[in-house]
Structure 1
Amino acid sequence: MASGVRVVATTALVVLLAGGAYATADAYDVVPGMVTLAPVPAPPNPFPTAPGAVPAPAVTALLGALDPAAPAPSPAQLQGMVAALVADARMGASTGVVVVDGLTGDVLASNAPEVPHIPASTAKLVTAVAALTQLPASTTLPTRVVKGAAGQLVLVGGGDMMLAAGAGDPTAVDGRAGLADLAAQVAKGLKLAGTTTVSLGVDDTLFSGPALSPTWAASDIAAGYVAPVTALAVDVAKIKAGEYPPRYPDPSLAAAGQLAARLAEQGITVTGTPSRVTAPAGAAELGVVQSAPIADVVQYFLHTSDNTITEVVARIVAVHMGLPGSFEAASKAVLRAASELGLDTSGATLVDASGLGAGSALPPQLLVDLVRLSTSPTHPELREVATGMPIAGLSGTLADRFTTTAARGLVRAKTGSLPHVTSLAGTVVDADGRLLAFAVLADQTPDGGQLAPRATIDAFVTTLQACGCR
């Protein structure tokens, strides 16, 4: 499966990157940096030995901001560390690695940097960067009800698959817009017009093509790792609560059924069963609710590694670029957006935006370039990518990794996991205060699951953090 979905509350983060210098708002270790209020653990064991347990020392005082004059590590020493990582039997026979200086972009060490590897969920970085360069950060996705033909209402999906069944929560990303709020708006207008009985249609034609990718394993779909991708849904089409719940086979119609129930609570009777229709051009709008801003949605899918929401955002990018809202067009759109930023996408192939499908391949160098771009002062619109990635030992899909190492709180990275694939791409602040960007993609790992390759990659990144190699 793709990187596990772990919903963790997030805090609004701001990275200030001006004049080529680093200045990171990380007082509670919510952003990697030298400023910390968290316990400082003991140095880790050298790579490749797994780190040992770390006692909890006293809380430290605030330290200064990252120094752009901090020395860069020795490429020769880092190359030796990369060689040891690649040679480790736990990584298998195919590992691509790149480590670059976060400030200059100089490659400090690498192995097969231009060779495409299966990215798993690190592919979500492509969609994240594409979304925040193609769309204003404040973009929201509307869910509307308009007048249809002869007493019919039409629920029109605008791409929000995180609708709340009840009232929306203005502080949430998942559940920002609520069907109860939408029903209240609609019912008010209907009652003023003397209407209390309607039929209901749903228009989800914003997206096209199959809702399930043919590249997804049937077992992954059945396990709830992804939902059918449609233009609207309640709670990402979950039938019941849980980390990997079963999903509605038709999220749009399920959402329409929920709206019918909310309308009934407002005294509006919905006759018959909701069905698919096309909303009339220029139809009068009776109500609308808006999703969280796209910048928050991007942080959400990076933090939780949610496959479905990543696919939704990629389709929104495609539609914005004048392409169909389909798997094929969305995959092309996000790579085109990366190319328009001046990044080398040669050799890159995406069959979906989430990294769940079979057939995607990305060079490690492209992932590092995306990460570094997100921290660049010349691209402030991408700061939500830099701050949206999970933090080592503290949040998201890295909450249970690096917990006993000195790298805890100093690594922010996107995880990736599929059978025989383990990947990690992000940033780490080394012992000298230098920011490094890295990508590790291993796509032929041995049998035995994720534990061994993850531990090996984590030990490598921990050693990068502790190095200060000069």
Structure 2
Amino acid sequence: MRKAATAVAAATAVLVLAGGYAGLDATGAVPGPLTTTAPPTAAPLPTAPGATRPTQADTPPVLPALDPDAPRPDPAALGGVVAPLLADPALGASVSTSVVDALTGETLLATAADVPRTPASVAKLLTAVAALHTLGPTSRATTSVVDGATPDEVVLVAGGDVLLAAGAGDPDAVDGHAGLDDLAAATAAELLAAGRTAVAVRLDDASFTGPATSPGWGSGDVAAGFVMPVAPLAVDEGRLAEGETAPRTGDPALAAARTFAAALAAHGVQVLDQGAGPVVRAAAVPGAATLASVESATTAEQVELMLTASDNTLAEVLTRRVALAADRPATFDDASRAVVDQVAALGVDVTGTSLQGGSGLGRATRVPARVVTDVLTLVAGGEHPELGAAAAGLPVAGVSGTLLERYAEPGSASAAGVVRAKTGTLTGVSSLAGYVRDADGRLLAFAVMSDGVAPGASLAARRAQDRFAAALAGCGCR
């Protein structure tokens, strides 16, 4: 079960990143035709000679102050060091780069930074910021059971938690924070106390509307476990077996409701079968009395998990919740526009930005590199402390998440434990965006995005981007 990530910063979300480590690199396989999920863990690659592999404890997470006295890089000097790395053929011809001073927002390097590119999972940075700002970092998704239209009915109301455990919840976990068995036990206690020993179970999952899958996804993405059909209720994101890339059920909400019904029966309440199985869909009566409820982990904790693990399903669900909070329909299209609108409301110029869902899995998603670094600078700036989890959830090179097995090569190993960034991978696409503290202690925000990667060059493109970030880390560039 996936535990909560680091604590959310209470003030500004600025990183102090330790250096001098070597880590692991990815195997280079793109796990599916359209996915941002990391490939299965492979045998560790050797670390650089004489280096030690970093651990999570070695890397300070998020600290509350930028250093305004750290020397600012000279753009010309910085460009002279890192720009030649962008000519690596592995990156292809369609490359955008943006590097900015995270304190001042000054542009230090820009290469086609205003050109909309396919960002893959780097798009999750926009989803993270929109969710934290719109929903609030301490908000939670509630799954409840209410009285039905008649005394022999109860309605399970889906509230946007797709990380439910089938059994008991774990208060220390993000995935499985709330449990359906706990909900069933509390519901049974209320029913039996009122003398209600048999009920029909209804499911109200109508808060999310429109198609549950996107035309921008690959045809095999659900079966391959890269994403779940989007629904406001699920047990362990609809996985049909253990493992991050287990196949997903085609109807996650109904599967979860059936799990709840079985648990309710196990707690002594007969579940009536009226010819259509143990659960049928029906809308809850407005104002119906609540019998029991359970709550998810906080939005901040879910955002951290979403970014660290590059969780496509969680990103899509958070996007729908943003739409509902913004009084828009929770469809793919409306939710995508709601995220862009909320990022714009924070003062980011979103010109050229269009999302096809919130995960980056949608192939039609386009985001300029400048927008990405503007978002990162906003998170680091301190004016919006609610955005702290968007920094805390970024994987650390060679230490965590989708960067765990990267930064082992001679050209990038020095930046293991230094770079904190969001990865993005689709067929033909490789992106990396995040923070690095340079050799003079100046915090930089960067994005390097390639959407013309040649077939078979995914691993080489990732390594080229890792070398670019490592060069930023090693450059005082005054």
Say yes or no: TM over 0.5.
Answer: yes
Alpha-carbon deviation of 1:268? 1.2
Contact 1:41–1:55 (8 Å) recurs in 2: no
- RCO higher in structure (CA 8 A, sep ≥6): 2
1:229–1:41 distance in 2 versus 1, CA, 3 Å: closer
Partner-residue secondary structure (3-state), 1:219: coil
Alpha-carbon deviation of 1:52? 7.5
1:62–1:212 distance in 2 versus 1, CA, 3 Å: closer
1:245–1:253 distance in 2 versus 1, CA, 3 Å: same
Deviations 1:197-227 (A, max 9, x none): 1111100011110111122111222211000
Deviations 1:440-462 (A, max 9, x none): 00000111142100000001111
Picking from 26, 29, 33, the partner of 2:17 is 33
Contact 1:7–1:396 (8 Å) recurs in 2: no
Alpha-carbon deviation of 1:228? 0.7
Match of 1:300 in 2: 305
1:385–1:57 distance in 2 versus 1, CA, 3 Å: closer
Partners of 2:236 and 2:3 in 1: CA distance:
15
Spell out the pairing of 1:440-455 with structure 2 (5 A cutoff). 440-455=448-463
Partners of 2:305 and 2:390 in 1: CA distance:
10
Spell out the pairing of 1:2-401 with structure 2 (5 A cutoff). 10-14=5-9, 16-17=11-12, 32-34=16-18, 40-41=20-21, 53-56=48-51, 67-150=67-150, 151-272=152-273, 273=277, 274-401=279-406
Alpha-carbon deviation of 1:379? 1.6
Deviations 1:363-385 (A, max 9, x none): 00000011111111212111111
Partners of 1:67 and 1:263 in 2: CA distance:
56
Deviations 1:236-291 (A, max 9, x none): 01111112111110011100110011112211121222111111111111110011
Alpha-carbon deviation of 1:136? 2.0
Partner-residue secondary structure (3-state), 1:53: coil
Deviations 1:143-173 (A, max 9, x none): 0111113311110000101111001111111
Contact 1:8–1:395 (8 Å) recurs in 2: no
Partner-residue secondary structure (3-state), 1:344: coil
Q: Name the aligned partner's letter for residue 465 of structure 2.
A: I
Contact 2:124–2:359 (8 Å) recurs in 1: yes
Alpha-carbon deviation of 1:192? 0.9
Alpha-carbon deviation of 1:343? 0.9
Contact 1:392–1:403 (8 Å) recurs in 2: no
Q: Name the aligned partner's letter for residue 395 of structure 2.
A: P
1:61–1:438 distance in 2 versus 1, CA, 3 Å: closer
1:443–1:81 distance in 2 versus 1, CA, 3 Å: farther
Contact 2:21–2:53 (8 Å) recurs in 1: no
Contact 1:142–1:160 (8 Å) recurs in 2: yes
1:194–1:291 distance in 2 versus 1, CA, 3 Å: same
1:41–1:256 distance in 2 versus 1, CA, 3 Å: closer
Deviations 1:115-167 (A, max 9, x none): 00001000001111111111221111110111113311110000101111001
Partners of 1:122 and 1:268 in 2: CA distance:
47
Contact 2:3–2:174 (8 Å) recurs in 1: no
Partners of 2:218 and 2:107 in 1: CA distance:
36
Contact 2:67–2:442 (8 Å) recurs in 1: yes
Q: Name the aligned partner's letter for residue 346 of structure 1.
A: T
Runs of 4 or more consecutive aligned structure 1 residues displaced over 6 Å after TM superposition: 57-66
1:343–1:164 distance in 2 versus 1, CA, 3 Å: same
Q: Name the aligned partner's letter for residue 319 of structure 2.
A: A
Partners of 1:126 and 1:329 in 2: CA distance:
15
- Give the number of aligned pairs: 443
Identity %: 48
Q: Name the aligned partner's letter for residue 394 of structure 2.
A: M
Match of 1:438 in 2: 446
Match of 2:429 in 1: 421
Deviations 1:40-74 (A, max 9, x none): 348xxxxxxxx981423699999998642111222
TM-score of the pair, normalised by structure 1:
0.89
